[in-house]
Amino acid sequence: MPTPFAVIFDRDGVLNEDYGYAFEPEKLVWIPGARAAIKRVNDAGGLVLIATNQSGIGRGYYSEEQMHGFHAEMRRQLAAEGARIDEIYFCPFHEDAAEDRYRQADHPDRKPNPGMVLRALRDFGIDPKNALMIGDKPADVQAANGAGVDGYLFAGGDLDAFLVACAARTGLPL
């Protein structure tokens, strides 16, 4: 049986256009190459995981249900292409949250902390050396590195091509 591996993506700015607190399904715009990158991981037998800070929930800009609706649209569009996201981890916590239940400074899941990445690895039994993370902010790379995962900073362009280059450096079979 092949060794399980995973690619962990940040969401906004990596998979979808980041127009500031993306939560409306009708405004979903994929980053070039994002759907192809997800399908590439699926086809290679890897897991596609998302680890995303969602402080907009804590700040009261949108609800968890609205975020889940955005994710459902992502999944719907991917399914039409024979692709899937295996799990989405999100962190609604923020020190300036409008709601008490979301107000927490330096929550272990909030990137740059590695909590979401560690949980993803644990949930799926993935060895950190068999994973990589792609994010668009230094905090994403810090979270990955804090979990023992190779993290890569995506500055735009074609995500699928970027993924192939990252996988070659990490040694993942993509």
Choosing from 12, 136, 150, 160, which is the catalytic residue? 12
CB atoms within 10 A of CB 32: 13
Judge whether 158 counts as a catalytic residue: no
Which H/E stretch holds residue 52? Answer: strand 47-53
Judging by beta carbons within 10 Å of its beta carbon (0-12, 13-18, 19+), is residue 168 exposed, middle or buried?
exposed
Q: Closest Cα to residue 143, out of 48, 44, 17, 53? A: 53
Euclidean distance between CA atoms 36 and 27, whole angstroms: 20
Torsion of CA 147, 23, 21, 50, to 10 degrees: 10
Sheet holding 47-53, edge to edge: 87-91, 47-53, 6-9, 131-135, 150-153
Judge whether 106 counts as a catalytic residue: no
> Using the 8-state DSSP alphabet, how is residue 36 labeled?
H
The residues that are catalytic are 10, 12
